[in-house]
Amino acid sequence: MPNSIEESPLYLIANPRSIAFFGASNNFSSMGTNLLMSLQAMGFGGVIYPVHPKEKQVKGLKAFLSVTDLPEAPDLAVIVLPTRIVNKTLEECGRKGIKRAIVVSGGFREIGGKGVDLEKDLVDIANRYDIHLLGPNCLGVANPHHKVNTTFIPSEGPPGFIGLASQSGSFITQIFEYLSRFDLGFSTAFSVGNEADLDIVDCMEYLGACPYTKVIALYIEGIKRGREFVEVAKLIAPRKPIVAYYIGGSETGRRAGFSHTGALAGPDQLYDSMFRQSGIIRAQSVSELFAFCWALGSLPKPEGSRVIIQTHSGGPGAAAADSCGRAGLDLPPLSKETIDKLTPFVPPTGSINNPVDITFSKNPMDYFFDIPRALLEEKNADMLMIYFLMPSQTIKRALVDMGLSEDQIIEQRTRLIEGQCKSMARLLRSYNKPVVGYTFHSPENPFIQGLMKQGIPVFEGPERAARVLEALVYYTNLNNTIVSSSKKSATPAQNG
Amino acid sequence: MPNSIEESPLYLIANPRSIAFFGASNNFSSMGTNLLMSLQAMGFGGVIYPVHPKEKQVKGLKAFLSVTDLPEAPDLAVIVLPTRIVNKTLEECGRKGIKRAIVVSGGFREIGGKGVDLEKDLVDIANRYDIHLLGPNCLGVANPHHKVNTTFIPSEGPPGFIGLASQSGSFITQIFEYLSRFDLGFSTAFSVGNEADLDIVDCMEYLGACPYTKVIALYIEGIKRGREFVEVAKLIAPRKPIVAYYIGGSETGRRAGFSHTGALAGPDQLYDSMFRQSGIIRAQSVSELFAFCWALGSLPKPEGSRVIIQTHSGGPGAAAADSCGRAGLDLPPLSKETIDKLTPFVPPTGSINNPVDITFSKNPMDYFFDIPRALLEEKNADMLMIYFLMPSQTIKRALVDMGLSEDQIIEQRTRLIEGQCKSMARLLRSYNKPVVGYTFHSPENPFIQGLMKQGIPVFEGPERAARVLEALVYYTNLNNTIVSSSKKSATPAQNG
């Protein structure tokens, strides 16, 4: 383990001051050009040296005929060239004194046969010149905090707290937009490709030390250095949650992973036990991977597995109760004290059980303040799960009825939503208990956006929300197990 | 079973010509007023008679002091009154000669104690006057084909093909927006509440006979008439798929369901076996319920369980392969014939296995036409699953590079997407094989919207898409079992 992030072999790959770029041209349909354009779109503050055999300028930058011509040995080389000239190019970079390279080009171990030899040769060159190599067959790195993005698609949205090490570049570049819908982003994301040199273990070490990373996500098709993987994860997990999505456990997943990155997968049980040993939480899908990271990276740890469900609709409440039960969570009865506190807010048709079903509320604002406050104060519960519904037409209907104009309505509604989300978030933060929302609204809905922007995670449907709480409890128990070595904890992977 | 839809006791509840409305006023914060406003917003073409003890006019309609004063006995009474005056009002409706009623008010069996007696009394009145009763403690009906909506939230989007019978009104009224995001809608949806008289079995019969309903969705907290449920479902399922989401199988779900509608739930296994006997497909969540309905109501039946995955990204391809494996689907190798057909379209870095991973394609249009055509012609496969990605910035980047203005870009992009989705849908329809998409784009993304509007279901992530294909295979096998009574089929419920 490096003592500081600067000691990581990945540090200057994720935070380069200067980059030699091979394979970009002025032809926008070439892969290399697109990668350079992503880097430029990000607003990279360092120097970029495009190397091109013919062009004088590439995408507005002065180009160089050969790496030998560069005025310095840059921190990093990014190579997006036809396979047959990659090794030769890396050798030239080595001679120039470049010590870090991202090889994006494919056609190595993953195609078998001569590709295997070619990759061996590539590693030999890297070793000979002391080059730290990411790839081949990868998309490199996205570090929005340093304004680096060598991947195919421009990064949207703000930098975030999720660190990713992925055996698929797509799960970085094609996920920017996905995350930004939830007001989330990557701290730093590595595409490791064939892992000829640097691998997922190195990335975990980097992300473990990275101050922007609050939670680590892993996309795994197969682990090469099993023992080191477990050792490193064990050191990181107690202070920074690690979530893994592993696809090699099914026969079809194993085969696909092998032809994708040449990964050597193992049976599900093996990985389950490896994850358990390491203190890693296993997700069952890409969207679950990021949902778990969202909550683990932003919410306090629960003290136990007791959830209160707050709803104003019976069906969504009952479905949530079922989801919590299936996720191994408990629904405690409310104490007399809490019931007394709630009585003024709940009409006779509402129910003061758990789920707390307000039904048609007298004052809709109670749902966002006085009711959750009473529920967060409940001594018998550790977590709160709230159903969010704000049908825009109903609000509009009310405002129209008050005689407001179209413009006034939009303004009023926006103000109403913003103020409400802010005050609610302030309330929730003042208690040290995890709170998650669930809804059937789109994440693009202004109300749901408002909640997310205030740091309240809101998921589609109760099942996802319950699984997320299960992951939080699992993580707390993991740590208690490490501390006390006594408590038993169930793995969320078993409740898929 | 009624011989025709007109014989169903629900027919004039879902298709009334005239409605007596109890409980609406000019106070927009009352429940009854909101329900009346939903009905008006829908553009109901029949006559509405608001009955109100004081108002002369209610929401622009002439109001009546008492049901006795109405100029006719309307087809339907909708009652949204305080519990204590509901029974008396139903009696008055009976005396007037009204033969159908929706009782929205709660406070009956679901609260226990005197509520149970009150409900018994309500049923006695209904029986005495030959009234078909939906509820109490329900939201009534939404039938966009007849422009009826008695629920809390106005119905958005076009009428659709999903028939719903639900023990939660929320899963109608709060799902309008959800469905419209996928260009889906209800054919007719019934909220059955406490099922004091008409129940979920009656609704199944109606929806089985309804010409607009292509697939039936059920939200179940507990079934009262088990034997009739199985008998009716068995008759309908071979020609119209039925999908059920059941929440009473966990202890927490059972308790919540009981306090919601007084439903008597049973263990999961009991319901699993009841669903299997009935030919019903079980979904594991609300969103899965509607995802299954989407595909079952709009795609051809697969001949077997062999899927081809088409992708241009390794990770999403490998994750899809894993999801298909876990869903019990097969990934056949491609025939030599198909490989030959694909060779011109796949660059050397692409892989002609299954998943078919095109990687960086020469001509992006091939991905939408020539490649899926070749894959649909493959004799060794029954279904196609396509990964959809169209990063808007990349297209924009390309168009900017071609020197187009902002306006031209928007126009070009819209035309490009529309044309592409249309031609692709035409191609897919010309083969009798189910095709589903998966993506990490938002359903609001113009490209994904374009595909959905052309009838191509697109799901978030490969897991959901694979589960949907599993449901299609399960339904085919069910029918083959019924016909041949030999083939074994796995229930998708077991692979949650």
- B302-to-A6, A87, A270, A490, B223 alpha-carbon distances in Å: 55, 47, 35, 38, 31
The answer to whether the Cα torsion of A296, A300, A303, A305 is positive or negative is: negative
- pLDDT-derived band at B218, boundaries 50, 70, 90: very high
Q: Cα distance from B420 to chain A (closest Cα, Å)?
A: 19
Mapped onto helix, strand or coil, the DSSP state of residue A385 is strand
pTM for this prediction: 0.94
Q: Note whether B319 contacts A154, CB cutoff 8 Å.
A: no
Looking at residues B364-376, what average pLDDT do you find? 90
User: Which of A87, A310, A52, A71 has its CA nearest to residue A196?
Assistant: A87
CA B292 to chain centre: 8
Do the chains contact at B398 and A355, CB–CB below 8 Å? no
pLDDT value at residue A493: 44
Interatomic CA distance for residues A420 and A365, integer angstroms: 8
Q: Do A247 and B37 touch (CB under 8 A)?
A: no
Contact between A440 and A463 under an 8 Å Cβ cutoff? The reply is no
CB B329: neighbour CB atoms within 10 A?
25
Q: Residue A59: count other Cβ atoms within 10 Å of its Cβ.
A: 18
Q: 3-state DSSP call for residue A436?
A: strand
> Pairing between strand A458-460 and B18-22?
unpaired
What confidence score (pLDDT) does residue A440 get?
A: 95
Percent of chain A scored above 70 by pLDDT?
94
The answer to whether the peptide bond before residue A136 is cis (omega within 30 degrees of 0) is yes
Secondary structure (DSSP) of B474-485: HHHHHHHHHHHS
The CA distance from A247 to B459, in Å, is 19
Range from A31-40, B198-207, B416-425 carrying the lowest mean pLDDT: B416-425
Q: What angle do CA B294, B300, B303 make, to 5 degrees?
A: 125
Q: Which residues of A touch B153 (CB under 8 A)?
A: 391, 393-394
Q: Retrieve residue B209's tokens.
A: 């006979």
Chain pair A-B, CB pairs under 8 angstroms: 231
Q: Over 50: is that where the pLDDT of B486 sits? A: no
Are A261 and B314 within 8 A, CB to CB? yes
A429 vs A431: CA distance, rounded Å? 5
Nearest to A325 among B28, B250, B394 (CB): B250
Q: pLDDT digit string (tens) for B109-132?
A: 988 899 999 999 999 999 999 999
Q: Is the pLDDT of residue B483 over 70?
A: no
User: Is the pLDDT score of A121 beyond 80?
Assistant: yes
* Other beta carbons less than 10 A from residue B216's beta carbon: 28
Max Cα–Cα distance, chain B, nearest Å = 81
Which of A153, A286, A441 is closest, CB to CB, to B461?
Answer: A286
Helix orientation angle between B406-429 and B446-453, rounded to the nearest 10 degrees = 30
The two tokens of residue A218 are 């892993």
Nearest to B316 among A170, A318, A442 (CB): A170
A254: which 2 tokens? 């194993």
Would you mind telling me the total number of residues written for chain B in this entry? Answer: 496
The DSSP code sequence of A478-493 is HHHHHHHS------GG
Test mutation, A152, A440, A452, chain B, max B CBs within 10 A = A440
For the segment A191-211, the average pLDDT, to the nearest whole number, is 97
Percent of chain A beyond pLDDT 90? Answer: 76
Q: How far apart are CA B87 and CA B125, in angstroms?
A: 8
State the DSSP H helix or E strand holding residue B166, giving kind and residue range, or none if neither: strand B162-166
Cα-based distances in Å from A181 to A185, A448, B406: 9, 10, 24
Structure tokens at A181: 């819908």
Q: Identify the closest residue of chain B to A357 by CA–CA distance.
A: B260
Average pLDDT, chain A: 92
What number is the average pLDDT over the span A342-361?
81
Token readout for A268 is 């599900």
Contact A314 B260 (CB under 8 A): yes
Selecting from A287, A360, A440 the residue whose C-beta is nearest the C-beta of B461 gives A287
Span of B182-196, B359-373, B448-462 with lowest mean pLDDT: B359-373
d(CA A202, CA A210): 12
Per CB-CB distance under 8 Å, the chain A contacts of B442 are: 177, 181, 442-444
Distance from CA of B221 to the nearest CA of A (A): 8
- Taking phi first (over 0 means left), then psi (-120 to 50 degrees means alpha), and beta for anything else, what does residue B72 get? beta
CA distance A93 to chain B (A): 24
Ordered strands of the A100-103 beta sheet: A47-51, A18-22, A76-79, A100-103, A132-134
pLDDT of residue A101: 98
Question: CA angle, B207 as apex, B204 and B208 as ends, to 5°?
Answer: 80
Q: How far is A211 from chain B (nearest CA, A)?
A: 28
Of residues B483 and B101, more confidently modeled: B101
Is the Cβ pair B286, A461 closer than 8 Å?
yes
What pLDDT, on the 0 to 100 scale, is given for residue B156?
76
Check the CA dihedral B41-B42-B46-B48 and report its sign: negative
A18-63 pLDDT, tens digit each: 999 999 999 887 899 999 999 999 999 999 999 999 999 999 999 9
Q: Are B339 and B352 in contact (CB under 8 A)?
A: yes
Give the pLDDT score at B173: 93
ipTM, 2 decimals?
0.92
User: A157 in helix, strand or coil?
Assistant: coil
Q: How far is A362 from chain B (nearest CA, A)?
A: 8
What confidence score (pLDDT) does residue B485 get? 45
Interchain proximity A252–B321, CB inside 8 Å: yes
Q: What Å distances lie between residue B382 and A422, B72, B385, B488, CA to CA? A: 51, 57, 10, 18
Query: With 80 as the cut, is the pLDDT of residue A155 above it?
Result: yes
Residue range B1-18, pLDDT digits in tens: 677 899 999 999 999 999
Which residues in chain A are closer than 8 Å to B157, comparing Cβ atoms?
none
A250 to B171: CB separation less than 8 angstroms, yes or no: no
Token pair for residue A314? 């019976």
pLDDT band at B408 (very low <50, low <70, confident <90, very high): confident
Q: Are A435 and A428 in contact (CB under 8 A)?
A: yes
Cα–Cα distance measured from residue B192 to residue B145, given in angstroms and rounded to the nearest whole number: 19
> Which pLDDT band holds residue B260 (cuts at 50, 70, 90)?
confident
Whether residue B153 contacts residue B39, with contact meaning beta carbons closer than 8 Å, is answered with no
Q: What is the pLDDT of residue A360?
A: 66
Residue B274 has pLDDT above 60, yes or no: yes
DSSP A113: T
Take residue B269 and report the two structure tokens written for it. Answer: 């296994």
pLDDT at B495 over 50: no
CA nearest B496: which of A409, A67, A466? Answer: A466
CA distance B322 to chain A (A): 4
Yes or no: say if B356 and B335 are a contact pair by the CB < 8 Å rule.
no
Which residue in A153, A249, A353 is closest to B391 by CB distance? A153
pLDDT at A494 over 60: no
Binned at pLDDT 50, 70 and 90, residue B364 comes out as confident
Phi, psi for A397 (deg, rounded to 5): -55, -45
Q: Does the structure show a pLDDT above 50 at B489?
A: no
Asked if A265 and A274 count as a contact pair (C-beta separation under 8 A), the reply is no
What mean pLDDT comes out for the span A352-366?
A: 80
Chain B residue numbers with beta carbons less than 8 Å from the beta carbon of A351 are 259
Kindly report, residue by residue over A402-459, the tens digit of the pLDDT. Answer: 788 888 888 888 888 888 899 999 999 999 999 999 999 999 998 999 999 999 999 9
CB-based contacts of A19, cutoff 8 Å, min separation 6: A39, A44, A46, A47, A48, A49, A74, A75, A76, A77, A78
Work out the minimum CA distance from A18 to partner chain B, whole angstroms: 25
Q: What is the mean pLDDT of residues B478-496?
A: 51
- Facing B253 at nearest CB: one of A34, A321, A442: A321
Judge whether residue B473 has pLDDT over 70.
Answer: yes
Q: Strands, DSSP E only, in A319-477?
A: 351-352, 356-357, 383-387, 435-439, 458-460
Whole-number pLDDT of residue A414: 84
